[in-house]
Amino acid sequence: MNFKESPFMYGLAAMVIVFVLAQSIFFLVKAWKQGKKLGISAQTMRGTVTNSILFSIAPAISVVATVIVLANALGIILPWIRLSVIGNITYETTAAEAALNVFGSSIAEPVQDPKQFSSIMWVMTIGCIFPLILLPFFLKKIQKKIGHAAQTNAKLADVISAAAFIGLIAAFIARAIAGVGTKENPTDGAGVLSVLTLIFAILLMIVLTKLCDRFKLKWLENFTMPFSMLGAMGMAILLTQWLPAAWLIEWRY
C-alpha cells in the first residue's frame, strides 16, 4: 500500500482544497457587495476578476510543475497540499530537503518510511505557519498606520506606495539582469535570453498600452499584462529554437 498516494491522502487534500476555495469565495462575495455599495461598476469588478484569472494561469502552471518535481520524493499529494496553502516554491523545496537531510536522505530519491514522511509533514507545516500567527496580531496596526499616513499626506503616500512596488519589481529585474545560475543548467541564470525576455515584455506592454489608448480598446485593457507576459514567454521559446547557441549565453553561472 502506497501511503503517499492512498485514498486517505486524497481525502486530506480534498479537505484542504475545499477549505481554501470556500475562504476565497467568502472574501470575494463580501468585497463584491462592498464594491457595489461604494459605487464601483459591475463592469470594473468583472474586469478585475477576468484580469486576475488570466494573470494567474501561467504562474499557476509553473506551480504545478513544482508539485510534479517534488512528487518524485514525496508522492503527489503532500506537495499538492503544501503548495495550495501558504506554499511557495522555494520554501517547500528547501523545507522538504532540510527534513530529509536529517535522515541522510534527499528529495532526489523517493521516501519509503511513513515516519520520515510524517517528519517532513511536520517540518513543512511548522516552518510555513508563522505569517498566519503574525497577521491576527499585527495586520490591523500596520494597516491603520499606513491608512492614517495616506490621509494626512496623499502625495507622499502615493510616492511611497509606488516606490514599494518598484522596490519589489526591482529585485526580480536585477536578478534577470545579473542573477547567478548553476553551471549544470544553461538557462537559469541571467544572460542573453533573460534580458531579451525582460526587454520584450516591457516593450510589448508599452505597445499594447499605447494601442489601448489610441484606439480606445476597452476590452484589451484587462489583457495587456497577461498578454505581454505570455508574449515574452513565447518569444523565449522562439529564440531558443532559432539560434540556440547564441541565446543560451549566460554571463553568470
Partner 1 sequence: MRTYFDRVHTWGRISCVTTICVLFLVPVLFCIHYNAWPPLDGVLKGLAAVVPLYWATAVAEVISYAPLLGAGGSYLSFVTGNIANLKLPCAISAMDSAKVRPNTEEGEVVTTISIAASSLTTTVIIALGVLLFRPILPKLTAEGSVFAPAFQQIIPALFGAIGASYFIKQPKLSIVPILAGVLVMIFAPTMQIGVLIVITIVVSIGSAYFFYKKNWV
| Residue closer to partner 1 (CB basis): 178 or 246 | 178
Radius of gyration of the chain (CA): 22
Min separation Cβ 17 and partner 1, Å: 6
Min separation Cβ 83 and partner 1, Å: 6
Please report how the helices 154-178 and 192-215 are oriented relative to each other, as an axis angle in degrees rounded to 10: 140
State the alpha helices, DSSP H only, in 75-179: 77-84, 89-102, 114-128, 130-152, 154-178
Contact 4, 78 (CB under 8 A): yes
Min separation Cβ 203 and partner 1, Å: 8
Min separation Cβ 101 and partner 1, Å: 7
Which 8-state DSSP code applies to residue 252?
-
The grid cell for 116 is 520520515
Q: Which residue has the cell 538557462?
A: 187
How far apart, in whole angstroms, are the C-alpha atoms of residue 253 and residue 251?
7
